[in-house]
Amino acid sequence: MSTPLPVTEATSTANVLRQFYALTKPRVVQLIVFCALIGMVLAVPGVPGWAELQRGLVACIGIWLVAGAAAAFNCLVEKGIDAKMKRTAWRPTARGQLSDRQALIFSALLCAAGSALLWFTVNPLTMWLTFATFVGYAVVYTVILKPLTPQNIVIGGASGAMPPVLGWAAMTDNVGPEALILFLIIFLWTPPHFWALALYRVEDYRKAGLPMLPVTHGNEFTRLQVLLYTFILFAACLMPFIYGMSGWLYLAVAVAVSIGFTGYAFALWRHYSDTLARKTFRFSLIHLSVLFAALLVDHYLF
């Protein structure tokens, strides 16, 4: 019979595990996996069989592992920036609770495990697409784009828009036009989502030395860009119905949430306040979640 760990040692182990878990940015990764799951569901006509359910589950785990690895690497690279920003100062790497070596090894292990799982149990295409997404976010966006250009969110948004494509590839071993439509929606959603956040966190970004749009071009210009992007996003959200991927239920929901997002953006453009920017940011999360949930429900009911 093994001897129980002393309370202090057990507590310390639990704290370290929580710190490693925090590096994976759980809320962000949950949204990534949810969007990938939508791609999987839409790729399979009708109700999936047992084999498809198993493949989908394994794919979700693999994508979660690689996404978590990218998040951990991001925390490592940006630890100095994170320490200067209230929103991110709590991260274990920013506070020095985990060393660079620990974070790097943790990221590498997650990436290797997720990639191996996708290669051997799903298909090589999904593995390569997921790994490319890791490189796009952890290296191209975090290391190159974010500190150099106010268009970092626009260009880097391509990595964040990949989850539905990964899900589609996992179930079909190809990338169809339907997956690209889902990619386009998230790609266009990303700038107004993050710029709404940057508007009320502008001092944090300025202090950190990051060239986010409100820092480089000012509040008024950023608000206009948020509004213009919601117009383009509105049109993109109609494409699943136009292409025949979805029915009237999805269309009704897409129009409703898109009007809501555009309404927030218009109000923000006319009369700025930090409170309204925060509400716009939060509604953007609701917009994407409800939009994709409507695709899921529409797929099975109609």
Domain 14-175 has CATH 3.30.70.2740: no
Residue 158: how many CB atoms within 10 A of its CB? 18
Q: How far apart are the first and last CA of the chain?
A: 57
CA distance 40 to 164: 7
Amino acid type, 13: T
Q: Is the separation of the CB atoms in 94 and 30 below 8 Å?
A: no
User: Of all residues in the chain, what percent carry a pLDDT higher than 70?
Assistant: 96
Amino acid 83: pLDDT: 84
Amino acid 5: pLDDT: 47
Q: Is the separation of the CB atoms in 193 and 285 below 8 Å?
A: yes
Q: Is the separation of the CB atoms in 194 and 175 below 8 Å?
A: no
CA distance 131 to 62: 11
**For range 278-290, the mean pLDDT:** 95
Spatial CA neighbour of 285 closest among 260, 267, 266:
260
Per-residue pLDDT of 170-195, as tens digits, reads 999 999 999 999 999 999 999 999 99
Q: What is the pTM of this model?
A: 0.88
CA distance 52 to 233: 32
Amino acid 1: pLDDT: 42
**For range 36-55, the mean pLDDT:** 90
Amino acid 13: pLDDT: 78
User: Of all residues in the chain, what percent carry a pLDDT higher than 90?
Assistant: 65
Per-residue pLDDT of 108-128, as tens digits, reads 999 999 999 999 999 999 999
Q: Is the separation of the CB atoms in 129 and 166 below 8 Å?
A: yes
Per-residue pLDDT of 215-238, as tens digits, reads 999 999 999 999 999 999 999 999
145 band by pLDDT with thresholds 50, 70 and 90: confident
Flag whether pLDDT at 9 surpasses 80: no
Mean pLDDT of the chain: 90
Per-residue pLDDT of 66-105, as tens digits, reads 999 999 999 998 888 888 887 788 888 888 888 889 999 9
Domain positions in the chain are 14-175, 176-302
CA distance 169 to 160: 16
CA distance 237 to 32: 18
Distance of CA 64 to the CA centre of its chain: 11
